[in-house]
Amino acid sequence: MAVAPLLTEEELDALRQFDTCMIANAIETFNVRLRNTGFSDAGIRCMFPDAPPMVGYAVTGRLRSGEPPIGGSSFHDRAGFWNSILEVPSPRILVLEDMDNPPGRGAFVGDMHAAILKALGCVGYLTNGAVRELPSVRAMGVQLFAGSVAVSHAYAHIFELGAVISVGGMEVRPRDLLHGDRHGVLTVPAAIAANVAAVADRLQRAEQKIIDFCRSRDFSVAKLRDVMKTLS
């Protein structure tokens, strides 16, 4: 199976011009997946809802924080993890499935790790677990999506880098293209990614036409039916 080419910076920026809801609408028109798949559920919260849409390629792995290491008191060496991040094209988004039950006992990403991620070309972090030190991370310009907020990092450690994972009911594969904002996060199928923004623009214009008509003095159910027909 041929691998879809990476998007250009211009194509990535085109996706950033639309909210995640409109991107979802555009993806639906291609009929490449079921409409109830490919996006995070309500358990995932956007920590900085006023930030612009986030777009990037997924760096995947799994996380545990509830249990201490067999030897010593903490997990230290993450050089292999950092190098693995650089193997994924930029812009990058770290996506970790928290395997603790319940997830979120400790927060891997706070201000220090956010700074490291940003230096490694990451624009955001997505997890069903926890995050912390929100004001500092927000000031860095790194977006966070998480299931909760925690006080401590506890015994946070990462394993199974490059795995196919599930976060918030959404399957995420290494290098999946992600789009996220205050509404949540979704995956953008590679085969159609370059064409999604153009469709989103068309749909947004059509929706605005309906909205403008509903606000006008000419509104009536009969006329609304006629306007809807012109958009089908």
- Give the distance, in angstroms, between the CA of residue 6 and the centroid of all CA atoms in the same chain: 17
Would you call 6 exposed, middle or buried from its count of C-beta atoms within 10 A (0-12, 13-18, 19+)? Answer: middle
Q: Does residue 93 sit in helix, strand or coil? A: strand
Please identify which residue in the block is written with the tokens 């089908």.
232
- CB atoms < 10 A from the CB of 156, how many? 25
The residues that bridge with 166 in the sheet, in sequence order, are 171
- Backbone phi, then psi, for 76, in 5-degree steps? -115, -55
Q: Does residue 1 sit in helix, strand or coil? A: coil
CA angle 135, 106, 49 (to 5 degrees): 35
Dist. CA 78–CA 106, nearest whole Å: 17
pTM, whole model, 2 decimals?
Answer: 0.93
Architecture category of domain 9-195 in CATH? 3-Layer(bba) Sandwich (3.50)
- CB atoms < 10 A from the CB of 26, how many? 23
Give the pLDDT of the chain (232 residues) as one tens digit per residue.
Answer: 455 689 999 999 999 999 999 999 999 999 999 999 999 999 999 999 999 999 999 999 999 998 876 544 454 557 788 999 999 999 999 999 999 999 999 999 999 999 999 999 999 999 999 999 999 999 999 999 999 999 999 988 899 999 999 999 999 999 999 999 999 999 999 999 999 999 999 999 999 999 999 999 999 999 999 888 877 6
Q: Which residues 6+ apart lie within 8 Å of 121 measured at CB? A: 85, 86, 90, 91, 92
